[in-house]
Amino acid sequence: MTQRTKFGVFGYPIQHSLSPIMQNAAFQEKGMTAFEYQAYEVQPNDLKNAILKAQQNGFLGINLTIPHKEKALDFDFIQADSFAKKIGAANTLLISDEKIEAFNTDAYGALSALEYEQIQTKNKKILIIGAGGASRSISFLFGEQGNPLKIINRTAEKAECLAADISKKTGNKNVCGGGFQTAWDDIREADIIIQTTELGMGKYKNVSVFDLCSVQKGTTEDIEKTKDDCIQNYLRKETVVFDIVYHPSETKFLKEARLNGCQTINGTMMLVFQGALAFEIWTKEKPNIDVMKESVLSALQKKK
């Protein structure tokens, strides 16, 4: 039997990943000194080779990030668990000599981040912004949990397709998708709003979800006025607003929601909890969440 002590995250690009810092901090805290986690730049057409090599070279666990999460499920030597199969994406591989198993811990990360803030999600009406990979995992989890779900996306058809797929695979009939035309009404209806796109980060730093809603109404001149009025009129103070972005720690969207009186949550704890479940899948032990959180926060502090 191969001695397995190596871990890694495969992505392209990968240099910004916080997983090595976070997982190594968790290993250290547990005294698992033989374990070592590194980031590896793996090109999309090299993924299969990279995974097989990792199995030969003593890896116990791998995280997959953009753009590899869906592709991994195409390989016949990987056995995905039923939830990862339903979603069609995996972010965690558990490797042994005999097999490679795949799991998706992203959605669990989102749910745990809400629970960490004492937010009850059962039966709550959830509005998801975006219909990409991140949205897919989160939407599936709440779809499976039976929540009434609305998914809105810049490209409406993508949200419609995702909603139809969730309904079909989970049996939840209360899932629908669409564009931003009815966004303000969707916002009023929602108990929890989850933002899953890259709005608010990188080149979209100065764009919030509310900007997209406002564009549908009025002229460019009264966007700001219309937007503030709409936030006040449509966003209920009881609505919890969760943005999965963690850098910056407060996106423009979260700030606007906070100033409206809403409880807001950023993506830091989702990152921590998806990593914590991966840690548990690999080691069969629960990591120290505070240690992981602190390692992420101090790494983010240095990025400023």
Give contact residues for ligand ATR (rule: CB under 6 A).
66, 130-135, 153-155, 158, 196-199, 204, 212
48 is catalytic: no
- Comparison of 157 and 224: residue with beta carbon closer to ligand ATR: 157
The answer to whether 48 touches 79, Cβ cutoff 8 Å, is: no
The answer to whether 269 touches 249, Cβ cutoff 8 Å, is: no
- Comparison of 90 and 199: residue with beta carbon closer to ligand ATR: 199
120-158 burial: b if 16+ Cβ within 10 Å, else e: ebeebbbbbbbbebbbbbbbbbbbbbebbbbbbbeebeb
- Comparison of 135 and 170: residue with beta carbon closer to ligand ATR: 135
Closest approach of Cβ 133 to ligand ATR, in Å? Answer: 3
- Comparison of 95 and 162: residue with beta carbon closer to ligand ATR: 162
10 Å CB burial of residue 197 (0-12, 13-18, 19+) is: buried
| Residue at token pair 């914590």 | 276
Among 6, 30, 48, 69, the one annotated catalytic: 69
Closest approach of Cβ 201 to ligand ATR, in Å? Answer: 10
The answer to whether 250 touches 201, Cβ cutoff 8 Å, is: no
- Comparison of 134 and 269: residue with beta carbon closer to ligand ATR: 134
User: Integer distance in angstroms from the first to the last C-alpha of the chain?
Assistant: 45
Closest approach of Cβ 58 to ligand ATR, in Å? Answer: 30
Closest approach of Cβ 98 to ligand ATR, in Å? Answer: 31
Closest approach of Cβ 178 to ligand ATR, in Å? Answer: 12
Closest approach of Cβ 56 to ligand ATR, in Å? Answer: 29
Cβ-proximal residue to ligand ATR, closest one: 132
Residue 193: CB atoms within 10 A of its CB come to: 24
- Comparison of 236 and 255: residue with beta carbon closer to ligand ATR: 255
* d(C-alpha 199, C-alpha 141), whole Å: 22
Catalytic residue list: 69
